[in-house]
Chains A and B, each alone.
Chain A
């Protein structure tokens, strides 16, 4: 596909359940980022993958959050034992490179997560 693809587009689950969100970056993009936007807030950084390097997890809000990127392409963000404060839109972005070269990040349409 031409752009960043995220699935599902919407997810409603009960408090305490685990959820998995998926991101397919733009083909050839080596850098992948996860952000989230809570209601009425700006976007906040969660985690960053660059090639085969260890991910930058500095934005993950708690140890219930984890992410992986398999084969340098698709990424999944997992939230365990979900809480109501996890309700937000989770956005994935990719770029041709991260680190020292300035390149714009291109975003998917996000997954709207609602915890009941």
Chain B
């Protein structure tokens, strides 16, 4: 039972363009959503989060959008840079679940020069 799904295992984007990574979830109890970036041989690095009371959160080049009715969130990176090439994980948690993170399978983003 995959509660958090990232249906695109990989994405290739040209440098300077917008990267859009998508994530779907099934558990309506989730109330906090996060995106992590992971380089090989390193742990996930926290990027940006959003609470279920909001529908958008922006931090520099990164914006996360939450559509609760569709149980869908997305991460927009603009403009994309070569250093953004990494695996991106979507994660969700609920207060009732003691903030245990449930992760998607990840999307490998490649930024082409």
Contacts and interface: CB of A to CB of B under 8 A. Distances in A.
Interface size of B as a range? 20 to 34
A48 B99 CA distance: 9
Contacts, number: 67
Contacts of A80: none
B44 A43 contact: yes
B98 A50 contact: yes
A43 B99 contact: no
Nearest to A35: B101
A99 B45 contact: no
Interface string A58-90: 010000000000000000000000000000000
A54 to B, nearest CB: 11
Given A42-B89, A102-B51, A95 B99 contact: yes
B32 to A, nearest CB: 4
B42 interface: yes
Contact of A43 (B31, B45, B103): B103
A50 B101 CA distance: 14
Given A41-B105, A42-B105, A100-B95, A48 B41 contact: no
B44 A107 contact: yes
B64 interface: no
Interface of A: 4, 6, 31, 33, 35, 41-45, 48, 50, 56, 59, 91, 93, 95, 98-100, 102-110
